[in-house]
Chain A
């Protein structure tokens, strides 16, 4: 089954404790991205990747890191999480980058609470 898989689905942690949210897709998609969703603000893009070893900042990259060492994986790293990073996070992928008229495929989301 074609899918985008995120882990964990839920995480409660404390300020400053490094964490990684994994994202994997099995559709051989070139483009992957991370969004955060907050009430009243919709989805905002954190980082995106056009292909392996090619990543770039989205609208709200501060406090986050990403890597794209393999085509299928695109982990989101919070080196020193803070309470303002409490949010619902989504990973998404598409065959081509925006401009290629391709839909985005989303994971089920990761709800992070940082105390």
Chain B
């Protein structure tokens, strides 16, 4: 399997600042998805970006995808304490029947 890899592993910022997380992967993909996980809870889908898209927005979230570099970034603007969670990228690889998740970025937003 080819898991995505998130960077950094952990990120701590002040409330109001922007948070950027990166994801790299190794194979051709149909789409890349970002999920959020509050401590010990299930993952919640945030945003899906297709392989032919370069940028997508949803509220305070902005996702970019560079298929030539096999990388994606998730930007959370004007962060809030409630954004504290782990964030995972998941790749939907061409020809595969499952998603491959990375190990996640742990974001802490300090009030």
Range class of the A interface residue count: 20 to 34
Distance from B36 Cβ to chain A, minimum over Cβ atoms (Å): 11
| Residues 58-111 of B contacting A (Cβ, < 8 Å) | 88, 90, 92-94, 96-104
- Which size class do B's interface residues fall under? 20 to 34
- Assess whether B42 is in contact with A109, with CB atoms less than 8 Å apart: yes
CA distance A33 to B97 in the complex (A): 10
A109 engages B92 (CB within 8 Å): no
> Judging by beta carbons under 8 Å apart, are A103 and B97 in contact?
no
List 18 other contacts, CB 8 Å, given A42-B104, A98-B96, A99-B96.
A4-B42, A35-B101, A42-B88, A42-B101, A44-B1, A44-B101, A45-B99, A45-B100, A59-B1, A90-B42, A97-B97, A99-B97, A101-B92, A103-B33, A104-B33, A104-B35, A107-B42, A109-B40
